[in-house]
Amino acid sequence: MRPLTPRRILGVCAGLSAILLIEVVVSLRMGDYPIGVRDIVATLYNGAQGRWDAIPSEFKLVVFGLRLPRIALGILVGAALSTSGAGFQALLRNPLADPYVLGVSSGAALGAMLSLIIAPHVAGAIQLAAFLGAAATIAAVYFLGRRGGQLDSATLLLAGIVAASFLSAMIIFLLTMVTGTELRSITFWLMGDLTAPPPTTNVLGWFYFLFTVFVVAAGAMYTTSSDLNLILTGEQEARHLGVNVNRVKLVVYVAASMLTGLAVSVSGAIGYVGLLVPHVMRMLFGTDYRLLIPTSAIGGAIVIVLADTLARTIVAPTQIPVGAMTALAGAPVFIYLMRKRMR
């Protein structure tokens, strides 16, 4: 196996980023209003230079008003889910762990439903309530998951399962109180959807805020990557080597939960991405978390952009929820990977 060097990390990430860039251009081209690749490149270049008068009005509306914000949101959500999935799999030492295993998505969904019932027409209420619901679930599961004053992986997993079950029951109860268009909106949200408009007119500032939260949480997790490699060999051995296991667990738990809450609050529950992408990255590039975390982030972005492109074009003009598309493709892929690993 080749030694892991900073040059190799940058090379692999650059290669995946190039794939993502090509995918973004293809996604911008596809839709009800097709645009040529040359026109897309010219539109993006003129927009980056601030020469808005040189861009045709219809290109400006389609590229910068509709498709590019949705693609940017998909990149952010995919990166957040995959990074948090890699973190939870290391924290729980369970390859079947995903971002939703500790009930964070159920807490976010409950918060979103409460906002639809209490304040259905307030801009940004759904996103804020979903994030607060996820944060409350994170705190509750953390305090329930401690054993002897320390974070215990098995106890944390059980606490998350109990919390998810209880919150799911409350969601089912609240579904009986929502009717009409609100019921359709919450159903699409629960299935995972990227069509919701930003809760503010300052779209660029909103994306800057989301990106900042992602960078802080993912960066905090990446600082523990070397320690995670040691913990995977055994917690006792890692302690003998000088690793503060409790601190690493806390950082990974908080960072992964923040990433999950961020993704779920803006897109709903999109399944299989956080479960499968880290597995695929391990198969391709190895188990070293110094490489696994950044490749999982870029790989998750690639998967979500691809799934969203298919979701809005495969049966156009009808749009399929992105979560439904990832579930349809993710279940067979997961079965294949599981059987291959057994063989």
CATH number of the domain where residue 285 is located: 1.10.3470.10
- Give which of 134, 99, 94, 96 is closest to 114, Cα–Cα: 134
All residues at 6 or more sequence positions from 303 whose CB lies less than 8 Å from its CB, including other chains: 78, 82, 273, 276, 277, 326
By three-state DSSP, how is residue 150 classified? strand
The secondary structure of 269-324 as a DSSP string is ---SHHHHHHHHHHHHH-S-HHHHHHHHHHHHHHHHHHHHHHHHHTTTTS---HHH
Structure confidence by residue, pLDDT tens digits, 166-209: 988 888 888 777 776 667 777 777 777 787 666 666 778 888 88
User: Residue 91: inside a domain, yes or no?
Assistant: yes
By three-state DSSP, how is residue 146 classified? strand
Structure confidence by residue, pLDDT tens digits, 30-58: 877 778 888 888 888 888 887 888 888 88
Domain total in the chain: 1
Other Cβ atoms closer than 10 A to 327: 16
d(CA 262, CA 251): 16
Query: Phi, psi at residue 36, to the nearest 5°?
Result: -65, 155
* Strands of the chain, DSSP E: 146-147, 150-151
User: Residue 51: inside a domain, yes or no?
Assistant: yes
- Give the pLDDT score at 138: 85
- Give the pLDDT score at 341: 63
User: Residue 48: inside a domain, yes or no?
Assistant: yes
d(CA 148, CA 22): 50
Mean pLDDT of the chain: 84
Q: Which two tokens stand for residue 220?
A: 């905090």
Point out which residues pair with 60 in neighbouring strands.
Answer: none
- Give the pLDDT score at 336: 74
Give mean pLDDT, residues 256-270. 86
Structure confidence by residue, pLDDT tens digits, 64-90: 878 888 899 999 999 999 999 999 888
User: Residue 313: inside a domain, yes or no?
Assistant: yes
- Give the pLDDT score at 20: 95
User: Residue 67: inside a domain, yes or no?
Assistant: yes
* Residue-number span of the structural domain to which 260 is assigned: 6-342
| Reduced DSSP (H G I as helix, E B as strand, rest coil) percent helix, strand, coil of the chain, to 5 | 75, 0, 25
By three-state DSSP, how is residue 156 classified? helix
User: Residue 267: inside a domain, yes or no?
Assistant: yes
User: Residue 1: inside a domain, yes or no?
Assistant: no
User: Residue 25: inside a domain, yes or no?
Assistant: yes
Is the bond preceding residue 294 a cis peptide, omega within 30 degrees?
no
- Give the pLDDT score at 122: 75
d(CA 108, CA 111): 5
In this structure, are strands 150-151 and 146-147 parallel, antiparallel, or unpaired? antiparallel
Structure confidence by residue, pLDDT tens digits, 275-297: 889 988 998 898 899 999 999 99
Handedness of CA 196, 198, 203, 205 (dihedral sign): negative
All residues at 6 or more sequence positions from 131 whose CB lies less than 8 Å from its CB, including other chains: 108, 111, 261, 262, 265
**Phi-psi bin for 332: left (phi > 0), alpha (psi -120 to 50), beta?**
alpha
Between 341 and 116, whose confidence is greater?
A: 116
Q: Are 292 and 229 in contact (CB under 8 A)?
A: no
Q: Is the pLDDT of residue 301 over 80?
A: yes
For the chain, state the CA radius of gyration: 20
Q: Are 81 and 274 in contact (CB under 8 A)?
A: yes
